[in-house]
Amino acid sequence: MKNPYLPMPMRIDHITVETSDGNIKTFTLSFIRDKDRQAFRFIPGQFAEVGALLLRPWRPKGSPSR
């Protein structure tokens, strides 16, 4: 039985500081499990919950295939 509440674990590959005050950053993430990477699809504007353990949510940006 599929459980849509279960998260897909990811790794933070890279953090880019975007502004001089350091308040805006881009996080580049990759799936740890290959099956999650293959299953994940989104279209522009869609909202997904991305959480560091005990922190949430962020909006993903950028192609999932990259």
Partner 1 sequence: VIINKNDVAAFLDGLRAEYRVFAPAVTDGVGGYRILAAGGDLAWGGVNTSRPPKEILFPQSEKLYSYRLGADGVEIQPHYDVERNIIFGIRPCDAKSFKHLDNVFLGQEYRDVYYQKRRENTLLIGMACLEPAGTCFCTWLGGGPFATDGLDLLWVDLGDRYLVQVLTPQGKALIEGRPFFLPATEADRRAASAAEARAKDRMRPAPDLSQVKPWLAASFNASFWEHVCEKCIGCAVCSYLCPTCHCFDLSDEAAGSQALAGARVRTWDTCAFPLFTLQASGYNPRPTGKERFRQRIMHKFCYFAENWGEAACVGCGRCIINCPVNLDIREVLAQIAAQAAGAGMSQ
Shortest Cβ distance from residue 58 to partner 1 (Å)? 10
CA distances (Å), 23 to each of 17, 20, 31, 49, 51, in order?
Answer: 8, 8, 25, 20, 18
Token pair of 28, please?
Answer: 């580049």
25 binds partner 1, rule: CB under 8 A: no
Pick from 16, 53, 63, 65 the residue near partner 1 by CB under 8 A.
53
32 lies in the site for partner 1, by CB under 8 A: yes
Residues lying near partner 1 in the complex (CB under 8 A) are found at 1-7, 9, 32, 51, 53-56
